[in-house]
Amino acid sequence: MGDKSIQKKQYIIDVAAKVFAEMGYKNVTMKDVVEACEISRGGLYLYYESTAQLFIDVMKSQAEAGGDFTSLISDDATAADILLLFLQEEKKELFKKKNNLNRAYYEFYFDEKPSKADNVLKKKFDSNIKMIGKLIEIGVESGEFTCENPLSAAFNIMYLIEGMKTTALTLGISSDSYDRQILYILESLGVEA
Amino acid sequence: MGDKSIQKKQYIIDVAAKVFAEMGYKNVTMKDVVEACEISRGGLYLYYESTAQLFIDVMKSQAEAGGDFTSLISDDATAADILLLFLQEEKKELFKKKNNLNRAYYEFYFDEKPSKADNVLKKKFDSNIKMIGKLIEIGVESGEFTCENPLSAAFNIMYLIEGMKTTALTLGISSDSYDRQILYILESLGVEA
Amino acid sequence: MGDKSIQKKQYIIDVAAKVFAEMGYKNVTMKDVVEACEISRGGLYLYYESTAQLFIDVMKSQAEAGGDFTSLISDDATAADILLLFLQEEKKELFKKKNNLNRAYYEFYFDEKPSKADNVLKKKFDSNIKMIGKLIEIGVESGEFTCENPLSAAFNIMYLIEGMKTTALTLGISSDSYDRQILYILESLGVEA
Amino acid sequence: MGDKSIQKKQYIIDVAAKVFAEMGYKNVTMKDVVEACEISRGGLYLYYESTAQLFIDVMKSQAEAGGDFTSLISDDATAADILLLFLQEEKKELFKKKNNLNRAYYEFYFDEKPSKADNVLKKKFDSNIKMIGKLIEIGVESGEFTCENPLSAAFNIMYLIEGMKTTALTLGISSDSYDRQILYILESLGVEA
DNA sequence: CATGAATGAGAGTTCATTCAT
DNA sequence: GATGAATGAACTCTCATTCAT
């Protein structure tokens, strides 16, 4: 596959990402992608055999492009600062109107069980757990946090975020409600607001 | 609508519930329901024009049939006992293999925004929030729990459960992991394990 | 399947037979059949999932409808008369312009290996072998024929006919050439022309 | 067309021959040939515009390469020996598993009527008829054979072989069955077995 | 009410053929 | 000459929906 092909593939991925963001995963047909990309029917099939394959590449592309929030951490940030930053970044992600793939992610995972290599969400989840766990440990050592089981706390935070994400897609969630949960987490870790 | 019609409608709902449990919401076609019910194509259309309408009735039917966990509460149960009971009931619901409609619920809500009257999940969520909030208040009063903001705590618990539900459907979650979260919640409320 | 469905199915078979006769087996698409039958796309699929299934039914229908040449045998016919009659019937079949399915038969059998139950040609071939073999035996007994191995002779005749059939479809064969082979067969059996 | 082009053309023909032997004529697409040859799509079109054109060249190539069975004839061979040799060579051809193009030949001729110049099979058939006819005449003269009409006998033998070829492709034929027909032919010519 | 045959829109997929490089 | 990406026509197949009975 030549340079040009790689560019075209990336173009398809980028356009498809928008389509998936708008329509979710299950509603998107190959035809939808073809039309959004303004290419021919056969043209898409040169690169992807199904929306499933395409979506996997969309996920991978997003994972790579995903802004590294660690770059936002200032040098003198405390553990609580960093945790707060993380929660706020996740909030932004959750509430963003454009290119929000959350719904598509869920629909995809309900239908398909990606191979370990393709399981982008799992990797992200695991790395977040590790990161948050470590962060809490550091916070406990520095006296910022009180927490008997940092790992459980990390899972707690991740499940909580997950729950707010899905609730946003189903019943709806307000920005304030999210903020109150941030507060609640910090309080649970013994941080004075 | 005669008695017989009502019975037939309920029959369709019951069979459809199984179909939705097996296949989710988006994958189910009117044809699937017709075949599972062993009725005629036209016959189903006499009662339902779409899977959306049918699913709403399935949800309502489930809500009515939903076991009231309050009946399980013993007379001398403490607030912590009741909360634990609730979390364990939710766990059962999450891990049950048969007739588990969770996936279908999510897929439905991703696609459709039910009217207030039809919004079964919203009602359930709100009533659970109220119940848990009240419970925590009682626990705080009785000295069982320590909690500054019972409402936030209630939301926290509900979002957490929600997060575990979706994780169960996507990345998977172990029974132990759920149990550790129960423990974590109780500890956060100041209950000694 | 009701009476009407059976009629419709037969209608499709009859129309398809003409299509196969004109175009052969491999060239015929479901679309061709749909258009020839003047029914809807989905309509055909109610009855047949593929041209293969359809062709099997065409073959069965032909086998049933196939004129029984035995009805043409006069009471005082000798073995040689009957054999001649058979060869002339086969000739008619070979040279007929309309509804000649020979090409389609070959193309079908090149591609598909029908189950024993669906193997119409095999049944026909075997029954012809049996019939011709018996006929020659009778002819030998009555002194009409000279033949040491009637079964080999029967196979010889059937393979010969088969060869002329395919040659008719490939290189072409003249009516005279066929007639000369009839003569040759009879001479080989010791019949004076 | 340069030397290199001629070589490439022959390469394509040789690879295509294998493809046609495996898949028949009708099932082979230009894509199949391209992939088997491991050349580019456009590259094939430089040499051939269709599988029909390609197949004609495959046939010609086969005709040229076709082993001349006359080289196998020993100096003291009788007419019967030579006829037997011919029938055994044809048998080998019929039963060979590899590179057997029989099916492809039939499918091609069903679909296309090659020009006289391209009609490889016709030439082969005619030359065989001539050869066998001559052979029988010689046999009759030498007293080996009894035959009133050598030409009819020659056609008889060719049609018979043709019939066994197609039967091999449709209903199947056993090696023994072929052998019995060889015997039958020789007996018909008055040769004592 | 109930049936199920029939329709036709629409998605999926493949490949012959072209053409810029 | 050679490449292979791109196009678009053609076919397959499925279902939502209707309607005569």
**Would you tell me which residues 4-33 of chain A have a C-beta closer than 8 angstroms to some C-beta of chain B?**
24, 26-27
How do residues C64-77 score in pLDDT, each as one tens digit?
887 777 777 888 88
- Architecture category of domain D67-188 in CATH: Orthogonal Bundle (1.10)
Binary contact (B110, A109; C-beta < 8 A):
no
CA distance D177 to B17: 62
Query: What proportions of chain A, in percent to the nearest 5, are helix, strand and coil?
Result: 75, 0, 25
Has residue C186 got a pLDDT over 80? yes
Touching check for D183 and chain C: CB below 8 Å? yes
- What is the average per-residue pLDDT within D112-140? 95
Has residue C15 got a pLDDT over 80? yes
Could you tell me which CATH number the domain at A3-63 has? 1.10.10.60
Has residue A193 got a pLDDT over 80? no
Among candidates C106, C125, C187 on the partner chain, residue whose Cβ is nearest the Cβ of D110: C106
Which residues in chain B touch residue A161, judged by CB atoms under 8 angstroms apart?
163
Those chains having 3 or more beta-carbon pairs within 8 angstroms of chain D are C
Residue A51 pLDDT:
97
CA distance D173 to C159: 10
How do residues B118-129 score in pLDDT, each as one tens digit?
999 999 999 999
Residue B165 pLDDT:
98
CA distance C83 to C185: 10
What percent of chain B has pLDDT above 70?
Answer: 98
Mean pLDDT rounded to a whole number for chain A: 93
Q: Taking the domains of chain D in order of start, what are their residue ranges?
A: 3-63, 67-188
**Distances, alpha carbon D106 to alpha carbons A156, B45, D144, in Å:** 71, 53, 35
Is the dihedral angle over the CA atoms D21, D27, D30, D33 positive or is it negative?
negative
Touching check for C169 and chain D: CB below 8 Å? yes
Best probe of the A interface among B167, B179, B192, by most A CBs < 10 A, is B167
- What is the average per-residue pLDDT within A159-168? 98
Within its chain, how far is the Cα of D134 from the centroid?
Answer: 20
Which residues in chain C touch residue D111, judged by CB atoms under 8 angstroms apart?
24, 27
Q: Is the CB of C43 under 7 A from strand E?
A: yes
Mean pLDDT rounded to a whole number for chain C: 94
| Residue whose pair of structure tokens reads 């072998």 in the numeric block | C129
Touching check for A61 and chain B: CB below 8 Å? no
| Residue whose pair of structure tokens reads 């002819």 in the numeric block | C139
| Bases of chain E within 7 A of a CB of the protein | 1-20
Stated pTM of the model: 0.92
Alpha-carbon distance B61 to nearest alpha carbon in chain A (angstroms) = 20
**CA-to-C1' distance for C43 and E6, Å?**
6
**CA-to-C1' distance for B42 and E2, Å?**
7
Which nucleotide's C1' atom has the smallest distance to the CA of D45? E17
Q: Is the CB of B117 under 7 A from strand E?
A: no
Has residue B192 got a pLDDT over 80? no
- What is the average per-residue pLDDT within A77-85? 93
**CA-to-C1' distance for B67 and E11, Å?**
42
Amino acid identity for residue D128 in this structure = N
Among candidates B106, B110, B171 on the partner chain, residue whose Cβ is nearest the Cβ of A122: B171
In which region does residue A99 sit, left (phi positive, over 0), alpha (psi from -120 to 50) or beta (all else)?
left
Has residue D66 got a pLDDT over 90? no
Q: What are D92's two structure tokens?
A: 């080998």
| Residue whose pair of structure tokens reads 């709100």 in the numeric block | B126
Has residue C37 got a pLDDT over 70? yes
What 8-state DSSP symbol labels residue A49?
S
Those chains having 3 or more beta-carbon pairs within 8 angstroms of chain B are A
- Please indicate whether residue B49 or residue A5 has the higher confidence score (pLDDT): B49
CA end-to-end distance (rounded Å), chain C: 55
Mean pLDDT rounded to a whole number for chain B: 93
Has residue C28 got a pLDDT over 90? yes
Query: What proportions of chain D, in percent to the nearest 5, are helix, strand and coil?
Result: 75, 0, 25
- What is the average per-residue pLDDT within A55-60? 96
pLDDT level of residue C193 (50, 70, 90 thresholds): low
Of B184, B56, B189, B98, the C-alpha closest to B135 is B189
Largest CA distance in chain D: 61
Q: Is the CB of C152 under 7 A from strand E?
A: no
Those chains having 3 or more beta-carbon pairs within 8 angstroms of chain A are B
Residue B193 pLDDT:
62
Touching check for A65 and chain B: CB below 8 Å? no
Residue B64 pLDDT:
87
Q: Is the CB of A51 under 7 A from strand E?
A: yes
**CA-to-C1' distance for A105 and F18, Å?**
37
Binary contact (C107, D110; C-beta < 8 A):
yes
Q: Is the CB of A41 under 7 A from strand E?
A: yes
| Lowest-pLDDT range of B6-15, D1-10, D54-63 | D1-10
How do residues B83-108 score in pLDDT, each as one tens digit?
999 999 999 999 999 999 999 999 99
Has residue D43 got a pLDDT over 90? yes
Q: Is the CB of A5 under 7 A from strand E?
A: no
CA distance B189 to C15: 78
Best probe of the D interface among C171, C179, C181, C189, by most D CBs < 10 A, is C171
Residue B75 pLDDT:
79
**Would you tell me which residues 130-149 of chain A have a C-beta closer than 8 angstroms to some C-beta of chain B?**
148-149
How do residues D180-192 score in pLDDT, each as one tens digit?
999 999 999 999 7
Touching check for D171 and chain C: CB below 8 Å? yes
Among candidates C122, C161, C171 on the partner chain, residue whose Cβ is nearest the Cβ of D163: C161
How do residues C90-146 score in pLDDT, each as one tens digit?
999 999 999 999 999 999 999 999 999 999 999 999 999 999 999 999 999 999 999
Q: Is the CB of B5 under 7 A from strand E?
A: yes
Touching check for C164 and chain D: CB below 8 Å? yes
Q: Is the CB of B143 under 7 A from strand E?
A: no
Residue C159 pLDDT:
98
Touching check for A193 and chain B: CB below 8 Å? no
**Distances, alpha carbon D159 to alpha carbons C157, C172, D129, D167, in Å:** 10, 12, 10, 12
How do residues C50-65 score in pLDDT, each as one tens digit?
999 999 999 999 998 8
Binary contact (C155, D171; C-beta < 8 A):
no
Alpha-carbon distance D150 to nearest alpha carbon in chain C (angstroms) = 10
Touching check for B179 and chain A: CB below 8 Å? no
Of D113, A180, A171, C102, the C-alpha closest to B162 is A171
